Structure formats: C-alpha cells, structure tokens
Amino acid sequence: MSTLRIAVAQINCVVGDLDHNAALILDAARRAVEQGARLLLTPELALCGYPPEDLLLRPDFIRGCAAALAHLAADAPAGLALLVGHPHATGGQLFNAASLLRGGRVEATYFKQRLPNYEVFDEERYFDEGTAPLVVEVAGVKVGVNICADVWEAGAPEAAAAAGAQLLAVLNASPYHVDKPVTREQVLAERVLATGIPAVYCNLVGGQDELVFDGASFALDRLGRLAWRAPHCREHFATVEFSDSDIVTQPLPPVTPVEQDCYETLVLGVRDYLGKNGFKQALIGLSGGVDSA
C-alpha cells in the first residue's frame, strides 16, 4: 500500500516579483520536509504571480522566469518533489505550465490544456494550449497534473486517469465571487466521480488589482466528498495524506456566513492593492455621492 504525504502551499504571490515568490515556495518546501511530506503543491503561475498579463510579452521576463525556475530546482530540499506553476516558452510557443522539480533539476513539465477567455480571463491572448497529460510518480504514487480550468470540463482529468494517475493534483488561481468555493468543490467532484481518483486543489490567495483570490484550497476523496479545506482569504500551509488509494479525511473548519467571506475578501483586496503597489497613504472620500462610490 503506497502512502504519500502532500504539502499544500496556499501562498500570496506578487506579480512580477520572481525573487519574492521563489522565497515563498522555498520556505514552504522547507516546512514540507519538516512535516514529512514528499510532494509540495503551489498555485497556478506561482513563480511569476497571476495574472502576469503583458509581462508575458517581454522576452526578458520569460527568460527571468526560466532562470528563477532553474535556481529554485537547485535550491529545493533533497527528497522533496515540488509542483511549481510558471510560464514556459518552447518552440516559439508559450504555455501556462507546471513543472515537477526534483533532485536539483526540472524533471517534467505539464502544459495547461484549457485556456479561459471570458470575463476577467484572457489567457488565449498569451498562451498556447497543451495537448498531453502528465503523470509523475512520487513515493510510489502516480500523480496526474492539471491546472485550474482543466478541471472545469471533461477531458484533461480523464486523460490523466487514462495515463495511470491514482491522484489528481490541481494548481489554481481562481478568483472569488459569492458561492465560488462551493462551486469549485462541486465542479471538481464531477471530475473525481468521472475518473474514480481523488484530487487535491491548491488555490492562490491574495489581491491583484481588481481580482481577489480567496484560497480555500481543498481535497476530495474518490467519492467526491470533501476531505480537507484550507482557510478563506489567508495564507496557509497544510499537509494532506494519501493512503490506500484515497485521501485521508481531516476535521473540516466550520462554514462561515457569506457576509463574513465577502468582508474578508474586500479587506484582503484593499490591503494587497495598497501594499503590492507600495502606497504609503490613501485618501478616502465619504461624501456618499458618486465621487466616493
């Protein structure tokens, strides 16, 4: 019976700050080793932050991401496999990617297959679609890799299962709206029931311009039931156990009122908008008119 302890790093990345984001990932990697994990999950595009938008059109930025990924692989603790989200250029194409770092090198890379292009998303402007599944073996467990929108429709998860995956690892940058956490769990449960394999979902947390990513990472057992959930709107590190072909259920946090979730999301968004832009002060208009709306 194969057992795998998975560390989930629900981190607050800064768009464009490669050194800062790499430091967050390395800190999570060290904590993962201390807690006996063999695999670390990070959010979608964790190395460069999400959404990087027109930074992706700069060749120097793409080269910087590649160099940062190589340094991260070299600096990562021995005995730990890391799944890290990053942009990846090859053959004249650019992909939204997730790479497995192990043994001081980039061992394998997955390319996101479903590119969202609606509302706040415009990934088709920057990225090419991947076409192939990726399954990696960690501590005797075959782990399939997906990225965010891959699991919102059938196709990519089923391809990973057909390639032999026993567990699905999903890297995400999914922004908040009312009832979004429940919707994510319902959508992924459909994929879990269709494939028969459990899943761990690592989401980004933090504000970036008009977007707020609420975290609320989670895991589902192979019957699609919630087995673990991370807190809403704050950075969090946790480990999840995969044993006997399923996720071991942990005590779940209490469900919070939607009003509290909205308040915490607004606070996080304003705090990060000011902090990440380096603002030292702000002027607040309280007239009640359209000028303060």
For 163, other C-beta atoms within 10 Å of its C-beta total 13
Q: Sketch the domain layout of the chain as residue ranges.
A: 3-292
Catalytic residue among 13, 48, 65, 148: 148
For 102, other C-beta atoms within 10 Å of its C-beta total 21
3-state secondary structure of 6: strand
- Tracing tokens 């027109």 back to the chain, one arrives at 54
What pLDDT is recorded for position 286? Answer: 79
Q: Which two tokens stand for residue 29?
A: 């990697």
The structure's pTM equals 0.95
Cα–Cα distance for residue pair 60/5, rounded to 1 Å = 37
Pairing of strands 167-172, 141-147: parallel
Pick 3-292's CATH classification: 3.40.50.10210, 3.40.1390.10, 3.60.110.10, 3.40.50.300.
3.60.110.10
Of the candidates 36, 38, 11, which has an alpha carbon nearest to the alpha carbon of residue 23? Answer: 11
Cα–Cα distance for residue pair 73/107, rounded to 1 Å = 9
Q: Which two tokens stand for residue 187?
A: 């959508």
For residue 125, the one-letter residue type is: R
Active site residue 148: yes
For 165, other C-beta atoms within 10 Å of its C-beta total 25
Q: Are 35 and 6 in contact (CB under 8 A)?
A: no
Cα–Cα distance for residue pair 251/228, rounded to 1 Å = 7
What pLDDT is recorded for position 284? Answer: 81
Please give the angle made by the CA atoms of 10, 4 and 44, to the nearest 5 degrees. Answer: 30
In this prediction, the residues of the chain whose per-residue pLDDT falls under 50 are: none
Q: Which two tokens stand for residue 141?
A: 């467990």
Active site residue 44: yes
Cα–Cα distance for residue pair 290/293, rounded to 1 Å = 5
Helix 18-34 vs helix 59-75: crossing angle, to nearest 10: 20
Catalytic residue among 13, 44, 264, 276: 44
What pLDDT is recorded for position 198? Answer: 99
What pLDDT is recorded for position 1? Answer: 66
pLDDT in tens, 274-283: 999 999 998 8
Of the candidates 9, 83, 70, which has an alpha carbon nearest to the alpha carbon of residue 39? Answer: 83
pLDDT in tens, 96-128: 999 999 999 999 999 999 999 988 899 999 999
Q: Are 109 and 89 in contact (CB under 8 A)?
A: no
For 124, other C-beta atoms within 10 Å of its C-beta total 12
Catalytic residue among 112, 202, 241, 264: 112
